[in-house]
Amino acid sequence: MSALSFELIKTDGKARRGRLHTAHGTAETPTFMVVGTAGTVKAMTMESVKATGAEIVLGNTYHLMLRPSAERIARLGGLHQFMRWPGPILTDSGGFQVMSLSKLRKITEKGVTFRSHIDGAAYELNPERSTEIQHLLDATITMAFDECPKLPAEKKVIADSMEMSMRWAARSRTAFKARPGYGQFGINQGGTEIDLRIRSAELLTQIGFEGYAVGGLAVGEPQAEMFRVLDDVVPALPADKPHYLMGVGTPEDLIGAVERGIDMFDCVMPTRSGRTALAFTSRGKVNLRNARHQDDHRPLDEECQCPALAGVTRAYLHHLFRCEEILGPMLLTWHNIHFYQNLMKRMRDAIEQGRFADTAAQMRGELQRGDIAPLG
- Sequence-distant (6+) residues with CB within 8 A of 33 are 54, 56, 57, 58, 90, 264, 265, 266
Active site residue 232: no
Question: Could you tell me how many residues make up the chain?
Answer: 376
Task: Tell me the torsion sign for CA atoms 146, 152, 157, 162.
Answer: positive
Indicate which residue of 92, 138, 263, 301 is catalytic: 92
Amino acid type, 245 = L
Indicate which residue of 12, 253, 263, 266 is catalytic: 266
What would the DSSP string read from start to end of 339-362?
A: HHHHHHHHHHHHHHTT-HHHHHHH
Contact 258, 30 (CB under 8 A): yes
Closest CA to 334 of 286, 261, 275: 275
Pairing relationship of beta strands 112-115 and 5-12 according to DSSP bridges: unpaired
Sheet holding 15-22, edge to edge: 5-12, 15-22, 25-29
Instruction: Say how many Å lie between the first and final Cα of the chain, rounded.
Output: 61
Contact 149, 161 (CB under 8 A): yes
Active site residue 92: yes
- Catalytic positions are 92, 266
